[in-house]
Amino acid sequence: TDPILRASMDGAGALIRLRPRWLNELRHLAYAMLGTSASQRVLFTDPALASSVCRAVLSNLEHIEHRHMNTLLKQFVEPYVMSCPVPQLTQLVTPLLAPLLTHMLQRISFIWSPQAALQAKQQAQMGMAVPVQPAAWSPEGGLVLHEAAGTAVEDHVRDLIQEKIKRELTRTYVSLLGAWLALSGDLSKAFINYQGDAK
């Protein structure tokens, strides 16, 4: 075969292998940009813009892998809720948190349920679709994608990674719940100041 053609094919293969990294970075940058615009209160100047961003973030939550959900919570949802002006909390935060909290309760319950994980694994082994929960919540999570790209993951390493991802997501969610419920952080100060101003 022609060496130039072979080199171009090898280059295309390298680009294809780099695509998941590029998409991952793109996702992180998008979440960081949204989080920065929330923490600088740019999103809150126009309630229609904030509502549009929330609807976009909430669309297809069931297809986000646990590791990416963790990033979404840390980089966008936390700054959005914590930076929202107190008079606008009901208008701008409730439409985000109501579906998100329901979704996260289902997700956390599912990933910590040994029966659900075992059932999903058995259904996947039998080639059956898992109707209750999406593939992103599967016991394998995103590790299947890495194996498809040619990077094998050993069983004990897979179990450690899955456990780490599960614990990180739960830890992030619980710490954010504490902040959102004004048990810690700047939100409690905002509520105190807001109630003090109202007197």
Report the percentage of the chain scoring pLDDT > 90: 31
Assign 41 a pLDDT band (cuts: 50, 70, 90).
Answer: very high
Are 146 and 153 in contact, with CB atoms under 8 Å apart?
yes
Are 38 and 83 in contact, with CB atoms under 8 Å apart?
yes
Question: CA-CA distance, 42 to 27, in Å (whole number)?
Answer: 20
pTM, full prediction: 0.72
Q: HSE on the CB side for 77, CA within 13 Å? A: 28
- Of 81-85, 93-97, 130-134, 161-165, the one with minimum mean pLDDT is 130-134
* pLDDT, the chain, mean: 77
Residue 131 has pLDDT above 50, yes or no: no
